[in-house]
């Protein structure tokens, strides 16, 4: 068996730098997706058709086409239209954030609908207006129920982030590929990258469990 | 003063309130009774616009609250409501439940809200539970918190929608006792209830509803001893 890790040791710091690059755009994408997803979810449950309809169309488009296609369109096709040379980081965040928002909006919508209708009535009867009612009463309860589903989405996003290597973003995956190409040895750098991904997901999962435990305090 | 004029509510083809016209005076304690599905709850829920009336008018003092331009939140600030199933906020402690609306709706300071919340919780006998979460409480305790939560807004009117119907029998009394005390304070109370003894003893007036209509109203002594309508007579013979 031809396996030799000694050759990639000097390249390991180079690969490790990818962690920061990956985490940076993943965390921005998650937050972006979460905020936009929440807004979309609120539009979807609205009684006003002109809010609901665009949100449904949005979800249909971003869930109905491949993420890599969306990434390519944002990074290569949009500049063709606007003659704007879009930085890879921005493309990556836009593609992943917009895509994630579609999924997150459905998760949050389900979470809101699962909150007892009496909660809305109790808040309304106290004279609480829509915004504080959503922010302080409905969403916290919805969030508690959908946390496992949201964690799933974040984990998927973190792993799928490797797709940005295709547009030249210097993330973990891209760096492993570069090292592999330089050394003509692919197994070792890819294995290192794989382990790093696994550790990142492991930590993320544990953070999720910790948050979940904290939110279950009131049970 | 609450005045309803020809208040009507339909759900699809189903007319659940039919031309309810009545006046409830300031400080009056009114019990709304009648068989299930007679529209009692819908009537009550119309008064704070949780149900929007299909037709007719509701006036509270000099405001027509059925006016489509009315700010519902503004109206509801002055009307407390207690539900059959409590609807406490499960992610907040007892104290937080009571403090929430005064802080968010009335912009009270935290200290001020906490002080009056503690006062109210002491009044309903729950000082030892202020830091508990609702799911640690019994039904009777939950309902007393719900009453304190509504009172924290210092409402002029309190609506009770079958407040004891979801309670185990041994917890009914503790809630009715709180309501009895409240009735003495001069607040306007409208109580949808199946507790005939409570209605008889505490209410100034009984509204008897059947099939969406206000069939009969009168002082409890008169109503319970000599109802004027056949329907009320039948109903009383079953429940008393």
Task: Select the residue of A127, A215, A218 nearest B73 (Cβ to Cβ).
Answer: A127
Average pLDDT per block of 10 residues along chain A, 219 residues long: 84 92 94 97 94 96 96 92 90 96 97 96 96 95 93 94 93 93 91 95 94 83
pLDDT reported for residue B35: 94
Q: What angle do CA A117, A119, A123 make, to 5 degrees?
A: 125
What are the Cα distances from residue B36, in Å, to B59, B152, B209? 26, 31, 10
The string of DSSP letters for A120-163 reads: HHHHHHTT--HHHIIIIIIHHHHHHHHHHHHHHHHHHHHHHGGG
- For the purposes of burial, counting CB atoms within 10 Å of the CB of B51, is it exposed (0-12), middle (13-18) or buried (19 or more)? middle
How far are the Cα atoms of B111, B115, B117, B186 from residue B122, in angstroms, in the given order? 16, 11, 8, 20
- Look up the ipTM and state it: 0.92
Model pLDDT, residue A2: 79
Q: Residues of B53-81 as b/e, b for ≥16 C-beta within 10 angstroms?
A: beebebbbeeeebbeeeeeebebbbbbbb
Tell me the backbone φ, ψ of residue B38, rounded to 5 degrees.
-90, -5
What is the C-alpha separation between A112 and A140, in angstroms, rounded?
9
Q: How far is B52 from chain A (nearest CA, A)?
A: 13
- Chain A contacts of B74, Cβ < 8 Å? 127
What is the predicted pLDDT for the residue at A216?
A: 83
- Cβ pair A122:B83 closer than 8 A: yes
What local confidence, expressed as pLDDT, does residue A6 receive? 87
Interface touch B87/A122, C-beta < 8 Å: yes
**CB burial string B207-217: b at 16+ within 10 A, e below:** bbbbebbbbbb
Residues whose CB is less than 8 angstroms from the CB of residue B41 and which lie 6 or more positions away in sequence, other chains included:
B161, B162, B192
Helical residues (DSSP H) of chain B, grouped into ranges: 40-47, 72-76, 94-104, 110-123, 139-151, 169-183, 196-202, 220-225, 230-239
For residue B10, give both structure tokens: 């339909």
Q: What is the pLDDT of residue A123?
A: 97
Q: How far is A120 from chain B (nearest CA, A)?
A: 9
pLDDT of residue A219: 73
For residue B184, give how far its alpha carbon lies from the nearest alpha carbon of chain A (Å).
23
- pLDDT at A4 (0 to 100): 83
Residue (of A54, A76, A42) closest to A167 by Cα position: A76
Q: Nearest Cβ partner of A118 from B73, B74, B85?
A: B85
Picking from A166, A179, A132, the residue whose alpha carbon sits closest to that of residue A10 is A179
CA within 13 Å, CB half, A24: 14
Q: What is this structure's pTM?
A: 0.87
Contacts A129 to B, Cβ<8 Å: 73, 105
User: Which residue from B minimizes the CA distance to A133?
Assistant: B104
CB contact under 8 A, B72 and A124: yes
Contact yes or no for B79 and A116 at CB 8 A: no
Tell me which residue in A140, A144, A218 faces B133 most closely, judged by beta carbons.
Answer: A218
Contact state of B83 with A116 under an 8 Å Cβ cutoff: no
Contact across the interface for B50 and A121, Cβ inside 8 Å: yes
Strand partners, B55: B8
From chain A, which residues contact B within 8 Å (Cβ)? 116, 118-119, 121-122, 124-129, 132, 136-137, 140-141, 144, 215, 217-219
What part of B 25-84 touches A (C-beta under 8 Å)? 48, 50, 72-77, 79-81, 83
Rounded CA separation B107/B110 (Å): 9
Q: Give the whole-angstrom CA distance, residue B79 versus residue B189.
A: 10
Q: Which residues of chain B have pLDDT under 70?
A: none
């Amino acid at each position: 068996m031809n396996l030799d890790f000694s050759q990639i040791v000097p390249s390991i710091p180079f690969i490790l730098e990818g962690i920061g690059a990956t985490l940076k755009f993943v965390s921005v994408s998650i937050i972006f997706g979460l905020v936009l997803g929440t807004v979309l979810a609120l539009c979807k449950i609205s009684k006003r058709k002109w809010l609901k309809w665009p949100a449904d169309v949005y979800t249909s488009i971003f869930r109905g086409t491949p993420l890599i296609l969306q990434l390519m369109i944002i990074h290569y096709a949009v500049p063709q239209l606007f003659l704007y040379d879009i930085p890879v980081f921005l493309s990556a965040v836009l593609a992943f954030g917009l895509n994630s928002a579609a999924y997150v909006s459905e998760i949050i919508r389900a979470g809101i609908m699962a909150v007892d209708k009496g909660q809305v009535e109790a808040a309304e009867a106290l004279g609480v207006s829509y915004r504080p009612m959503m922010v302080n009463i409905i969403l916290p309860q919805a969030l508690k129920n959908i946390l496992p589903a949201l964690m799933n989405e974040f984990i998927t996003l973190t792993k799928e982030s490797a797709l940005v290597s295709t547009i030249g973003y210097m993330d973990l995956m891209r760096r492993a590929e570069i090292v592999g190409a330089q050394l003509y040895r692919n197994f070792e750098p890819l294995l290192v990258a794989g382990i790093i991904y696994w550790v990142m997901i492991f930590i993320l999962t544990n953070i999720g469990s910790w948050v979940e435990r904290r939110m279950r305090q009131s049970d | 003063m609450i005045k309803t004029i020809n208040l009507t509510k339909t759900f699809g083809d189903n007319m659940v309130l039919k031309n309810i016209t009545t006046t409830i005076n300031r400080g009056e304690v009114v019990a709304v009774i009648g068989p299930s599905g007679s529209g009692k709850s819908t009537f009550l829920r119309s008064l704070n616009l949780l149900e929007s009336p299909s037709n007719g008018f509701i006036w509270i003092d000099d405001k027509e609250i059925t006016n489509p331009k009315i700010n519902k939140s503004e109206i509801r600030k002055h009307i407390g409501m207690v539900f059959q199933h409590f609807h406490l906020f499960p992610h907040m402690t007892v104290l937080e439940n009571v403090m929430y609306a005064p802080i968010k709706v009335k912009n009270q300071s935290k200290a001020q809200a906490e002080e009056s919340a503690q006062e109210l919780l002491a009044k309903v006998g729950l000082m030892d539970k202020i830091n508990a979460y609702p799911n640690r409480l019994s039904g009777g305790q939950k309902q007393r918190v719900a009453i304190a939560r509504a009172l924290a807004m210092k409402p002029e009117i309190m609506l009770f929608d079958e407040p004891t119907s979801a309670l185990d029998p041994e917890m009914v009394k503790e809630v009715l006792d709180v309501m009895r005390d409240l009735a003495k304070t001069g607040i306007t109370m409208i109580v949808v209830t199946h507790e005939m003894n409570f209605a008889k003893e505490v209410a100034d007036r009984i509204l008897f509803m059947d099939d969406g209509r206000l069939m009969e109203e009168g002082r409890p002594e008169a109503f319970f001893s000599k109802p004027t309508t056949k329907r009320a007579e039948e109903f009383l013979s079953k429940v008393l």
